[in-house]
Amino acid sequence: MKEEFSELVQYLDRKFEDINNKLRDADQKLIDLNDKLKNLQGDKADKSDINNLLNTINNYIQKAETYFQEIISSISKITRQ
């Protein structure tokens, strides 16, 4: 009687082993995905980062406008002379 079930037991053992391997792989993929999500959260900009960037850009624009006005003024002076 044991011989009758030995093939079935072997078959079921292989199937359960395959299922266990697939579950282990899925678990590892979830761990990897969770790590990637944590890394993404650390890299995202928040509101203060965006405000700092906007302020820096505005300061640069103001300095550039002042510089261009000085250049135009200098050109006008040179042209008058």
- pLDDT reading at 45 higher than 90: no
Residue carrying structure tokens 């960037």:
53
- Which token pair is 7? 């093939």
What b/e sequence results for 45-71 when a residue is b if at least 16 CB atoms lie within 10 Å of its CB, and e otherwise?
Answer: eeeeeeeeeeeeeeeeeeeeeeeeeee
- pLDDT reading at 5 higher than 90: no
Tell whether pTM > 0.75: no
What is the average per-residue pLDDT within 24-29? 92
What is the average per-residue pLDDT within 23-48? 85
Q: How high is the pLDDT of residue 51? A: 92
Residue carrying structure tokens 């790590």:
35
